[in-house]
Structure 1
Amino acid sequence: MTLQLLDITVRDKQAHPRLAGRMTGHVRALLSEVAGGQEQTHDLNISVWADMPSESSDTDIEMALMLKAADIIARLKANLGPDEA
């Protein structure tokens, strides 16, 4: 089985209501899985957060949220094991 990240985008983002400097949001990740010769796509919505300096730009915030989501996906793939990823 192979798992490949096709696309990753920030769906929404907002400042945390109580924690200063923390941004929260949702990242959409589109994955392709090939198992047993068949391909299937998975559309995931991942809740993420990042602590950011107050002067961070929207681009920096979106990049931090996407990196958090990519880290979650990497851990998912690692937990599948070498025979399954």
Structure 2
Amino acid sequence: MTLELIDIAVQDSQSHPRLAGRVTGHVRAVLSEMLDGREQTHELSIPVWADIADGTSQSDIDLALMLKAAKIVARLKLSLQSPP
């Protein structure tokens, strides 16, 4: 089984209602899985958060949220790997 991240994008983001400097949102991740010679595509909506400094640009906020989601996907891939 191979699982690859083929697309990632921020769906939405907003300031946390109670924690100053924290942004929450959802990231759409598209994964491609090859299993028994067949390709399957999986679309996930991953809830994420990031602590952001004042004055951070929206593109940097989006990047921070996508990096959080990519780490979550990496942990998912690691947990799905077959033992040697």
User: What TM-score results when the alignment is normalised by the length of structure 2?
Assistant: 0.96
Structure 2 runs not aligned, ≥5 long: none
Query: SS state of the match for residue 56, structure 1?
Result: coil
User: What's the CA shift string for 1:51-77, capped at 9, x where partnerless?
Assistant: 000110001000000000000000001
User: What's the CA shift string for 1:29-83, capped at 9, x where partnerless?
Assistant: 01000000011000000000000001100010000000000000000011112x3
Distance 1:55 1:69 in 2: 22
Matched, 1:60 2:60: yes
Give 1:5's aligned residue. 5
Give 2:74's aligned residue. 74
Distance 1:43 1:69 in 2: 13
Query: SS state of the match for residue 55, structure 1?
Result: coil
Task: Report how many aligned residue pairs link the two structures.
Answer: 83
Query: SS state of the match for residue 59, structure 2?
Result: helix
Matched, 1:51 2:51: yes
**Please, what is the CA RMSD of the aligned residues?**
1.0
Moved over 6 A (4+): none
Structure 1 runs not aligned, ≥5 long: none
